[in-house]
Amino acid sequence: MNPLHIGIAGAGLAAPARRDAAKTPVPPDRPPAREPAASTPGAPTSPAPSDSPAPSPGAPTSPVPPDSPAPPPEAPTSPVPSDSLPLLAGLCAALWFIALPHVWFHAGLHAFDVPVAVATLAVVLIYRRALHSPRWALALGPALGVAISIKHNALFIPVLLALHYGLCLLLARRRPHASQLLPFLAMAVLAPLTVVALWPWLWSDPIGRVLEYVEFHRLHAYYNTEYLGVNYNRPPLPVSYPFVLTWATVPTGMLLLALFGLAHGLTRSLREPVSRDSPRWTAPLAGHDRRDGLLWALFAAFPLLLISSPTIPIFGGTKHWLTAYPFFALAATSALIALVRAAALPPRWRHAPAITLLLILVPGVWSTIDGHPYGLSQYAPFVGGPRGAADLGLLRGFWGHAVPASVLDPTTPGAPIYLHDMHELARQQYAREGRWPARATSVAPARARAALIFHERHMLTYELQVQDALRTSSPVEVITLDDVPLTSLYRADAPR
């Protein structure tokens, strides 16, 4: 996972403040030149109005007395150096995302969740440019195809982009025209072609394989998950599930900054003035604001709202709404920029924004370092970390990710082992990497000489079976995170 994708996006949010041009001395026989009014880049400039009548051609000008006092210097437009704000913005966006323990954990897996989150961000950023540029509009289709090829979450992207575009038209009081929809035409035509080109499994029977893929997800197996002391293995989950877990896994300062950025950006997007410029078919929103706050809000809220739906199958943990977090990061960055500019700190406080940002990000960075490599079991400091989460009855982990080091030691002779919640495909991957003892085959508890137990609420019965089969109640090794047990290793030859 490379945080540069988000750092670049965050840095792009902060436009450097205009520097005042150096003033040249005015000769005593010439009047001081009137400075042009600040204008939006690209907008036509017009002469500044004057209260006095314009002099007639050939009329003499009034000389300025040499002893006239010089005009007072203008106040700086931003107390923070203009070259530091983009750097702060980029650091805020990149670290907000990658410093989350659950994001860091999933970034190291052979899985799709963090890659599709990054791909979603890339498609949305290309869409922003496509609204004003035909070249980026043509690039939007292949980019969406790549995202869909990574994971099916990306199928929702064009729906959300169409919703954003429709809301922009509504707020601009305009009607859509088919001749202005090049970005959406590119997604409709080029994205499917890209998916087929990148997925050889479809080539032999495209329609049949697509239907098979849809059927697989329609009948997706349910996961067991513990939520506030209750084990769920059938839908529906409580509607509060994704929101409470987001609060419990994202450090509070980072989350509050992002929520403020979403509210501030959405408010600004809804209050943008209506433009009268005419768009082109290659640039549907040319001359109109792209309403980034609305765009960030849509992509930040939708994944959580989707998982909270009662009809969605039960999935484990936070990985299914990781696609929202890049947009939380961008919202946090916009909040940082807005707060810095609104604070108008004096020059002696110029380092205060960087220090404040550091204090906001430290809990996330520290939680990630403290929880590695068991970041899936890490929780936010405000919740009390892993201990507080255990007291609240929140999930400690899934997928059997916390494996004792002694099990992954190929130099030991090994013995038949009960894998419990570790998937057989994971054991095969460890074997391919040369990290699994040859004799440590997967067997049932009654035939095992060793056993793994992953501590989840619905697994208590399995631990009793293992203790009875191996005739011991004392594990030889226990993996803990802040004294919270995650995995226990039992052996038949251990003291009873």
Rounded mean pLDDT for each run of 10 residues along the chain, 496 residues in total: 45 44 45 43 42 46 49 50 78 95 92 95 94 89 97 95 90 73 93 96 94 86 85 86 96 96 92 62 58 95 93 80 97 94 89 93 95 94 95 88 91 91 91 93 94 90 93 94 96 74
**What pLDDT is stored for residue 83 in this prediction?**
61
Which secondary structure element, helix H or strand E, spans residue 232, and what is its range? strand 230-232
**What pLDDT is stored for residue 286 in this prediction?**
58
How buried is 286 (Cβ within 10 angstroms: 0-12 exposed, 13-18 middle, 19+ buried)?
Answer: middle
Compute the distance between CA of residue 262 and CA of residue 260 in angstroms, rounded to an integer: 5
Q: How many helices (H) and strands (E) does the chain have?
A: 16, 6
**What pLDDT is stored for residue 220 in this prediction?**
76
Compute the distance between CA of residue 387 and CA of residue 393 in angstroms, rounded to an integer: 10
Q: Crossing angle for the helix pair 4-11 and 85-98, nearest 10 degrees?
A: 140
Residue 453: what are its φ and ψ, rounded to 5°?
A: -130, 120
Q: Which amino acid is at 170?
A: L
CA–centroid distance for 302 within its chain: 13
**What pLDDT is stored for residue 188 in this prediction?**
96
Q: How far is CA 348 from CA 94, 274, 298, 327, in A?
A: 27, 40, 39, 33
> What pTM, to 2 d.p., does this model score?
0.80
**What pLDDT is stored for residue 412 in this prediction?**
86
Residue 118: closest CA among 261, 8, 194: 8
**What pLDDT is stored for residue 237 in this prediction?**
85
What radius of gyration, in Å, describes the C-alpha atoms of the chain?
30
Sequential DSSP letters for 174-211: ----GGG-HHHHHHHHHHHHHHHHH-GGGTS-HHHHHH
End-to-end Cα distance, the chain: 45
What's the length of the chain? 496
Widest CA span of the chain, in angstroms? 112
What three-state secondary structure class fits 227?
Answer: strand
